[in-house]
């Protein structure tokens, strides 16, 4: 025996419409989440890059500068080294 379905009534079409709407809303919401995550990642990477650049500039200025012409501090002792079969030997 063959059965055919009649026209869907209003209730069935309304439920199907609501299901399609929420399915679309779910897909759109996930897409919006992906775009927001990408934008947040872009801003976070930019902020971290700027902080590293600022730190590099401050470290450049904080480095102690040595004046040319001044002898290095210390007792002025020079170490002598000679090569042996076992390696290098340093003599005072």
- Domain assignment present for residue 89? The answer is no
- Domain assignment present for residue 71? The answer is no
CA–centroid distance for 46 within its chain: 9
pLDDT score for 4: 62
Range ranked top by mean pLDDT from 1-5, 47-51, 76-80: 47-51
pLDDT at residue 1 above 60? no
- Domain assignment present for residue 76? The answer is no
Give the contacts of 8 (CB within 8 A, at least 6 positions apart): 16
- Residue in 61, 60, 90 with CA at minimum distance from that of residue 77: 90
Beta bridge partners of 3: none
Which domain covers residue 35, as residue numbers?
Answer: 12-66
pLDDT score for 89: 86
CA–centroid distance for 58 within its chain: 22
- Domain assignment present for residue 73? The answer is no
- Domain assignment present for residue 88? The answer is no
- Residue in 71, 92, 69, 73 with CA at minimum distance from that of residue 82: 92
Tell if the pTM clears 0.85, that is, is over it.
no
């Amino acid at each position: 025996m063959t059965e055919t379905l009649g026209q869907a009534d209003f209730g069935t079409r309304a439920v199907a419409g609501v299901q399609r709407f929420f399915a679309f809303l779910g897909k759109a919401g996930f897409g919006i989440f992906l775009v927001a995550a990408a934008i947040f990642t872009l801003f976070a990477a930019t902020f971290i890059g700027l902080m590293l650049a600022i730190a590099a500039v401050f470290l450049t200025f904080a480095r102690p500068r040595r004046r040319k012409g001044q002898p290095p501090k210390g007792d002025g002792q020079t170490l002598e080294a000679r090569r042996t079969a076992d390696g290098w030997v340093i003599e005072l």
